[in-house]
Structure 1
Amino acid sequence: MLSLPSLLSERIRSVAGVDPELRPATRPQFGHFQTNVALRLANAEGRPPREVATRLVEQLDLSDLCEPLEVAGPGFINLRLRADVLARVASEVLAEPGAGIAAAAEPRTVVIDYSSPNVAKQMHVGHLRSTIIGDCFTRVLRAQGHRVIPQNHIGDWGRQFGMLVEQILEEGLDAASLDLPAAEALYQRANTHLKESEEFAARSRDRVVLLQSGDAETRRIWQQLIDISLAGFNATYARMNVLLSNTDLAGESIYNADLPVVAADLADRGIAVVDDGALVVFVEGFTAPAIIRNAQGGFGYTCTDLAAIRHRVGDLRADRLVYVVGAPQTFHFEQVFAVARMAGYLPDTVSAEHVGFGQVLGADGKKFSTREGTAVTLNSLLDAAEAEAAPSIALAAIKYADLSNGLQKDYTFDAERMVATTGDTGPYLQYAHARVNQILRKAEAEGFAFDAVTVLAEPTEQALALQLSRFGEVVAAVGDTLQPHRLCGYLYETAGALSSFYEQCPVLKSEGDVRASRLALCAATRKVLAIGLDLLGIEAPERM
């Protein structure tokens, strides 16, 4: 549903002809909102601002929403929402299952590409943001009624499997007995072996050919490596409260057979040409061509991503593609989307967005890594946060710190600061939810009944009700813009409005209709906080 501020803005714009640019009133005695629209129109009309403001007030019919409008100062218009309107909207938030989240007018099929770890390697700090951000998008868009298809594009194909299988055979290992850390250690041994022995390197190249041709033993070991990797990935996803499962897997391997088909199609239609032995596409506006097949006959990420787009649009029927991949890949995706448009794989009716994100930095402001300069594993990062707080609080701290920043920005991983229950943190929002639960538990124990918000006489309870009216609109904006910091900021403001309400308006100590109304307002706020936190992938605890 439209928030009350947006509804007011639309109604005023229909009369004034311009955006009223509503601003919260600086003091309660001035109402809830002010607009300087009359001052802006006065210049164009060549009339005194107060005269223009008076005319607008006479023309505007906002009696169903507001108390009589007031002209103040040089020509400001003050608007005060009716208490019964605020009460009705807060009651609707309490009554509606989604607390005001409206179903999308035109539901879409959205494919979201995120997380994408590599087989035989532990997830590391580089996968943290992609996984958290992609999971948030999935939750938000599903809440709006869109059909969301996550695609976990794991690295399960390529030359590295030649050396992995050869190392397993040489050491006489049972690959099925390994766990993911042991598989990563195997990867490191194989990589060292590859660099030190040309004979091993040659055998590894031959093994890649066997893998690609379907050799039974090679495929069996390859599948074992995938299985143990998925067990490790899924354990981390469960620990992170992330929705990804094996049904969302769509690794590089599933596109392998389609790569020569894509290359041939682009070449046959003259979109791709041979240049210095490689098959490439020259795209206007890009400084380098897109390499479809290199001079040695190998297919790279561009061809794989084009095959993925064909599958997602053609087979999955997606009309919105979202790629949650680090900001350094911006050029790659812009070029891939351009080639896909040229080839008709990505029709104009389908949107494609690369949501890039910044790095996770250590306390020293540098890229987060071990002393040896290697990437920190994702589980060790979770361990560091859990050393400061309980798992659910630690996870809230990590996710909120990630999502509350502009995604393009780097952010510093400071576990001690992030787990604080004061300030703009995830645990602070959890505490707000737990606190309002405590009040409602006490009310239930006392037998106090409530079912709707009916009495809103105090400014802070009116401000809280007004804040609740904005929830659905904020969620809709996140779904459109893919900017989760908007939801984080809204929830932080809601927790602040709740705190001000507590300080000024006794709940359990009030009586009669006032107490019942304030309890209903608390329940509506609890609902918004719980649903909002869940959209961020954060647990809303009953107690803290």
Structure 2
Amino acid sequence: MKGKGGAPKNPREVATAILNALPETTAIDGTPTLAGPGFINIKLSSAFLSNRLQTMITQGAGTWAPSLPYKRAVVDFSSPNVAKEMHVGHLRSTIIGDTIARTLEFCGVDTLRINHVGDWGTQFGMLIQHIAETRPGGLQGTTTEEVADLQALYKASKKRFDDEEDFKARAREAVTRLQSGDPEFLETWKRICEASRNEFDAIYQRLDVQILWRGESWYNPRLTPLVEELIERGIAEESEGAMVITVEGQKTPLMIRKSDGGYGYGTTDMATLNQRIHDEKGEWLIYVTDEGQSGHFKLVFGAGKRAGIIPAEKPPRIDHVGFGLVLGQDGKRIRTRDSGAAVRLVELLDEAKARCETSIKERQEATIERGGEELSAEELDNISSVMGYGAVKYADLKNNRSTNYKFNFDEMLDLKGNTAVYMLYAHARIAGIIRKGKKDVAEVAKTAHISLDHASERALALHIVRFTEMLEDTLVELAPNRITEYVYELSNYFNTFYQACKVLGEKEEDSRLLLCEATAMIMRQCFQLLGIKPLYRI
């Protein structure tokens, strides 16, 4: 380190200067010490930890949300394609994006959640033309569509498009008719989109994901004016009949108009970038797609800078949040055994719920034998849903998002491992302790004081107050696994405390009930960020 203006020149001197400048505070217990090349050791006082916890209990976990320098964010995630069923490959984008959005919202950022749905382009001309030629009554043959039927029709139309030159020509003509607003073609397209939207919304409801549908078609009116402007300004140039934007450091240019005059992903992504920065006033743009698209987005963002869409002064923060694949136990992309197709997301959720229901019924039999209460059918259905969907989410989110992971039901539903099931049982256990105490914890917090005399009490408190630090790390790295790591460690610290310190019937009962409540509150907040509902009784 180079010293300027009399500043220290090496790490140890810097650390010494920091120590000398520390103000007197009751937050530190004893005197801070210097170790090694420049490490500063500080011990937080138990009084400080206790006051932090009690303030959080009375004022809520929201008071611990870090303050961010952004007022508005746009998060682009999920993005399935119309006329196709959502499969396991859509899982990661959906829940990673949802967790990032929830975390931003918790920190007070106005967050626009965008579902950039594939609902426009050549494939729709292909599909509509195939329906017109093969369905009895043509495009007027039905007034509703089913996604499963559309998927089969899409596969058949794609095969014809690849194999039959005459059909390919008719499909391209159909695209022109659709994009020109032909009433019959437009009505069929709307039915297809509506069928897909209903299917997607049912899955989002099960996953408790809120998201705004904004398909590629929404940006269609913006494409031609944008391309013409870029050509006029000399940003775009001709290359083999197409119009492209060259980007410094990138081997291939970004195509914004094809040689046949059509538009592709590059054009739409430039239009979305422009709209999100200048119309939506996004100060932080986040794109959650698979890692394989990282090169494409580097090109788009580079072209955006060259075109001035991304301003040179005070540019927004822009991140591509890439993620790896969901694999089967064979280490390959997870597929169904019968057809080899990608596993449908709805089937995966159904199986997770069914497995949880079976497990809960088995545990219920033992509970009833011990004289415990039997769950109602409604309670069983709710717990199975919360646990099953939570297990799927947690198993995905606990992995580093940039790596592939193997999907395994047995592991994700383990009662003893780092799973949502384990975490939900841990929370229900804490809720049970508080219930048995038969005290209004909010009232207890007004008079009682949290004492941290036992080492396990202090260790638990120290971990709880790291909540804000964890959130900061999560947003810096855009890594949801920071939250899962934290909440799993939280449950372990609580278990150590509970084994060492009896709560009920002791002179420290009120203090320890408050420590239980602080743990449960932060655990619930972590669940909320992960999109998992808490359970108070299982």
Tell me if both proteins adopt one fold, taking TM over 0.5 as the criterion.
Answer: yes
Counterpart of 1:102 in structure 2 is 65
Residue 535, structure 1, aligned to residue 529, structure 2:
yes
Q: Which runs of no fewer than 5 residues in structure 2 stay unpaired?
A: 1-6, 357-383
Deviation string, structure 1 residues 99-155 (Cα, Å, up to 9, x no partner): 543362534211111101111100112211000001001100000000100111101
TM alignment of 1:238-257, pairs within 5 A: 238-244=205-211, 248-257=212-221
- Judged with a 3 Å threshold, the aligned counterparts in structure 2 of structure 1 residues 280 and 59 are, in CA distance, closer, same or farther, namely closer
- Return the letter of the residue paired with 1:454: I
**SS of equivalent residue, structure 1 residue 136:** helix
Counterpart of 1:393 in structure 2 is 387
Q: Give how far 1:294 is off.
A: 1.8
For 2:441 and 2:232, the matched residues in 1 are separated by: 77
Q: Give how far 1:72 is off.
A: 11
Counterpart of 1:506 in structure 2 is 502
1:204 pairs with 162, 165, 171, which one?
A: 171
1:480 pairs with 476, 487, 493, which one?
A: 476
Counterpart of 2:293 in structure 1 is 329
Q: Give how far 1:17 is off.
A: 7.1
For 1:218 and 1:267, the matched residues in 2 are separated by: 31
For 1:169 and 1:98, the matched residues in 2 are separated by: 57
TM alignment of 1:356-367, pairs within 5 A: 356-367=322-333
Q: Comparing 162-171 with 489-498, which one deviates more in the overlay?
A: 162-171
Count residues in correspondence: 495
Deviation string, structure 1 residues 300-337 (Cα, Å, up to 9, x no partner): 11111001111111111111110000000011000100
For 2:21 and 2:346, the matched residues in 1 are separated by: 62
Q: Give how far 1:453 is off.
A: 3.9
- Return the letter of the residue paired with 1:190: S
Deviation string, structure 1 residues 253-288 (Cα, Å, up to 9, x no partner): 011122222221111111111011111111111111
Q: Comparing 250-259 with 188-197, which one deviates more in the overlay?
A: 188-197
For 1:57 and 1:286, the matched residues in 2 are separated by: 47
Counterpart of 2:29 in structure 1 is 67
| Contact persistence 2:427–2:523 (CA under 8 A) | yes
Q: Give how far 1:227 is off.
A: 0.5
Identity of aligned residues (%): 37
**SS of equivalent residue, structure 2 residue 99:** helix
For 1:522 and 1:17, the matched residues in 2 are separated by: 45
For 1:92 and 1:339, the matched residues in 2 are separated by: 49
Residue 376, structure 1, aligned to residue 322, structure 2:
no
Q: Which runs of no fewer than 5 residues in structure 1 stay unpaired?
A: 1-15, 20-39, 46-51
Residue 86, structure 1, aligned to residue 55, structure 2:
no
For 2:442 and 2:126, the matched residues in 1 are separated by: 69
- Judged with a 3 Å threshold, the aligned counterparts in structure 2 of structure 1 residues 295 and 109 are, in CA distance, closer, same or farther, namely same
Q: Give how far 1:373 is off.
A: 3.6
**SS of equivalent residue, structure 2 residue 434:** helix
- Return the letter of the residue paired with 1:362: G
- Judged with a 3 Å threshold, the aligned counterparts in structure 2 of structure 1 residues 293 and 385 are, in CA distance, closer, same or farther, namely same
Q: Comparing 454-463 with 526-535, which one deviates more in the overlay?
A: 454-463
Q: Provide TM-score, normalisation by structure 2.
A: 0.86
2:114 pairs with 139, 147, 151, which one?
A: 151
For 2:110 and 2:525, the matched residues in 1 are separated by: 19
1:340 pairs with 304, 329, 333, which one?
A: 304
**SS of equivalent residue, structure 2 residue 457:** helix
Q: Give how far 1:503 is off.
A: 0.5
- Return the letter of the residue paired with 1:211: L
- Judged with a 3 Å threshold, the aligned counterparts in structure 2 of structure 1 residues 448 and 161 are, in CA distance, closer, same or farther, namely closer
**SS of equivalent residue, structure 2 residue 506:** coil
Counterpart of 2:405 in structure 1 is 411
- Judged with a 3 Å threshold, the aligned counterparts in structure 2 of structure 1 residues 205 and 18 are, in CA distance, closer, same or farther, namely same
Counterpart of 1:470 in structure 2 is 466
- Judged with a 3 Å threshold, the aligned counterparts in structure 2 of structure 1 residues 57 and 227 are, in CA distance, closer, same or farther, namely closer
2:263 pairs with 299, 315, 321, which one?
A: 299
1:441 pairs with 426, 435, 438, which one?
A: 435
| Contact persistence 1:130–1:325 (CA under 8 A) | yes
For 2:407 and 2:441, the matched residues in 1 are separated by: 45
TM alignment of 1:239-318, pairs within 5 A: 239-244=206-211, 248-318=212-282
Superposed CA RMSD: 2.7
Q: Comparing 78-87 with 255-264, which one deviates more in the overlay?
A: 78-87
Deviation string, structure 1 residues 344-384 (Cα, Å, up to 9, x no partner): 11124212110000000101111112344432221122233
Q: Comparing 455-464 with 163-172, which one deviates more in the overlay?
A: 163-172
Q: Give how far 1:509 is off.
A: 2.5
For 1:305 and 1:395, the matched residues in 2 are separated by: 32
Q: Give how far 1:18 is off.
A: 10
Deviation string, structure 1 residues 201-245 (Cα, Å, up to 9, x no partner): 33322211110110111111100111110000000111112122x
| Contact persistence 1:266–1:272 (CA under 8 A) | yes
Deviation string, structure 1 residues 485-523 (Cα, Å, up to 9, x no partner): 111111111111111110011111313xx1111101111
- Judged with a 3 Å threshold, the aligned counterparts in structure 2 of structure 1 residues 73 and 304 are, in CA distance, closer, same or farther, namely closer
Deviation string, structure 1 residues 52-99 (Cα, Å, up to 9, x no partner): 99x998986655123323879999986543322221111112122235
